Chains A and B, each alone.
Chain A
């Protein structure tokens, strides 16, 4: 029977784990939608949920058609090329260069979930003022020309950053720095929300934000522990340090709030948890528990300063702090991996600065700088192109009425029954 032939070539425990983790990471995007949705005004909440949800749909198609091929087909070039177009050659047998114990399509679907959440993270920067049509085209172009090449460089067979020895366990560089920098660029060029300087805009539903953060934390076990691509000790290590870092960062942010803003805030605590998850992402398969506490505490310090002081001093409107948390947290995580990585945790990794290998820190720094420069420039070009042909920003009148009504003809909450 064909089934037995297939069964022999992969490990059922590993395959079950990776499929389960794919589902966990899928849930992160709706979780992110609620995390962001709670932070915007009530007239824009559907706009944010819709942007996240449509990415789930659009990127799923992009990925099986050509996104996976561009990212992961072997090749030393700019990207992987179209050799695996339409999943041609991506079957149910393992592809040993990525994962010898699970079907190739399991690896593909797991990676899809990362490709989905990365552009969704950027939404936080331009929330409440981007035209839906422009958003959709911007996102597809960004996924194709920014995410796919960088995923190839860092993770793909033949990728040049991978060959240099960059450590990125679950996507600190590819996902978080990448999305964070794109967020900064779009926030800078789309401009502030109208009345941003004059009037306050408190979150319309913080319990949504807490629910979203909880779903993100839950899904992140799939993100990081799943990146071991097997049900093994490495997955357990990633699971443990992920939880520890999130916890340390949540506590640290709450204490910082208490000390500097008078009270520990719910928003601060969940922001800290997410920052801790971001920072441990590249390191999860290379560091131990002690390091994960340091990574978590320090990411909250850096992000607390970035969103509480730097943003207002510099004066850009990164509305939901996509750069302040994912960009800053991602950069710290990538560098921290170069500091704390240890071969005693993962023999396939490398030793970091504190384990006698300062060179690893420079390799990490190079990957960070390359990602920042490439993403900054390419995101700028894509934005300008979309702006020229469609116009990115909604009209002042539409912004005042809210995206729910003007972009989708719907309202999230009725005033009367």
Chain B
């Protein structure tokens, strides 16, 4: 089992969701987050006062998958979120120790899907 965390551009969320559904990945959690990468944020100007390094809005996805779903999920996110421009985001794949479905108490791979 793996936990996939992806940081993507907010305006790409709908496309990523579409791709995930067509790869039959239906369980995601979405957060609005702030951050920046190597481009070090954006500048804002308030009454002539420039404020540098402001964090940008991003979307953070969390998807728990069984091992055979890792590649399809990563590919779906890539397809939906990639524009080739700076700021497209990152995908992290983490080992997942356990998973419990609260409704039934089921544990392990069966609880994910």
A312 touches B49 (CB 8 A): yes
Q: How far is the CA of A267 from the CA of B46 in the complex (A)?
A: 7
Tally of contact residues, B, Cβ under 8 A: 11
**Chain B window 35-61, contacts with chain A (Cβ cutoff 8 Å), 1 for yes, 0 for no:** 000000000111111111110000000
Nearest-neighbour CB distance to chain B for A278, whole angstroms, equals: 15
A203 to B52, CA, bound (A): 14
In the docked arrangement, what's the CA distance between A261 and B46, Å?
A: 9
Decide: A203 and B46 in contact? CB cutoff 8 A. Answer: yes
Question: Which residues from B are CB-within-8-Å of A271?
Answer: 47
The answer to whether A202 and B48 touch across the interface, beta carbons within 8 angstroms, is: no
Which residues from chain A contact B50 at a C-beta distance below 8 Å? Answer: 261
CB pair B48 A308 closer than 8 Å: yes
Encode A40-61 as 1/0 by CB contact (under 8 A) with B.
0000000000000000000000
B20 to A: closest C-beta gap in Å: 27
* Cβ–Cβ < 8 Å partners of B53 in chain A: 200
Q: Is the CB of B54 within 8 A of A304?
A: no
Residues of A within 8 A of B48 (CB): 257, 260-261, 268, 304, 307-309
Chain A residues 237 to 268 lying within 8 A of chain B, measured CB to CB, are 257, 260-263, 265, 267-268
Inside 8 A of B44's CB, which chain A residues have their CB?
A: 200, 202
Q: Looking at the complex, which one of A261, A304, A307, A309 makes contact with B45 (CB distance below 8 Å)?
A: A261
B48 to chain A: closest residue by CB: A308
B47 in contact with A267 (CB, 8 Å): yes
Which chain A residues (258-313) contact chain B, with CB distance < 8 Å?
A: 260-263, 265, 267-268, 271, 304, 307-309, 312
Where chain A touches its partner, the secondary structure class is helix
CA distance A265 to B47 in the complex (A): 8
Question: Cβ of A202 and Cβ of B47 under 8 Å apart?
Answer: no
CB-CB under 8 A for A262 and B45, given A200-B54, A202-B54? yes
Interface contact A308-B51, CB-CB below 8 Å: no
Known: A200-B54, A202-B54. A321 touches B45 (CB 8 A): no
Find out whether the CB atom of A265 lies under 8 angstroms from the CB atom of B45: yes
A309 to B47, CA, bound (A): 10
Q: Which residues of A contact B52 (CB under 8 A)?
A: 200
CB neighbors of B among A194-219 (8 A):
200, 202-203
Give the CA-CA distance A268 to B48 in the complex, in Å.
8
A257 CA / B47 CA spacing, docked (Å): 8
B49: chain A residues at CB < 8 Å are 308, 312
* Contact status B46-A263, CB under 8 Å: no
A321-B46 contact given A200-B54, A202-B54, CB 8 Å threshold: no
Q: Which residues of A contact B46 (CB under 8 A)?
A: 202-203, 265, 267
Q: Give complex CA distance A308, B47 in Å.
A: 6
C-alpha spacing A200/B48, complex, angstroms: 13
Give the chain B neighbours of A203 by CB distance below 8 A. Answer: 46
Q: Give the distance to chain B from A318, nearest Cβ to Cβ, in Å.
A: 11
Q: In whole angstroms, how far apart are the Cα atoms of A265 and B44 in the complex?
A: 10
Q: Which of chain A's residues have a CB closer than 8 A to the CB of B51?
A: 200, 202
A218 and B47 CA atoms in complex are apart in Å by 23
Chain A residues positioned under 8 Å from B45 (CB to CB): 257, 261-263, 265
Closest Cβ–Cβ distance, residue B70 to chain A (whole Å): 32
Apart from A202-B44, A203-B46, A267-B46, what are 12 other A-B pairs with CB-CB below 8 Å?
A200-B52, A200-B54, A202-B54, A257-B45, A260-B48, A262-B45, A263-B45, A265-B45, A304-B48, A308-B47, A308-B48, A321-B47
B residues with CB within 8 A of A: 44-54
Enumerate 25 A-B pairs (CB-CB under 8 Å) in ascending A order: A200-B53, A200-B54, A202-B44, A202-B46, A202-B51, A202-B54, A257-B45, A260-B48, A261-B48, A261-B50, A262-B45, A265-B45, A265-B46, A267-B46, A267-B47, A268-B47, A268-B48, A271-B47, A304-B48, A307-B47, A307-B48, A308-B47, A308-B49, A312-B49, A321-B47
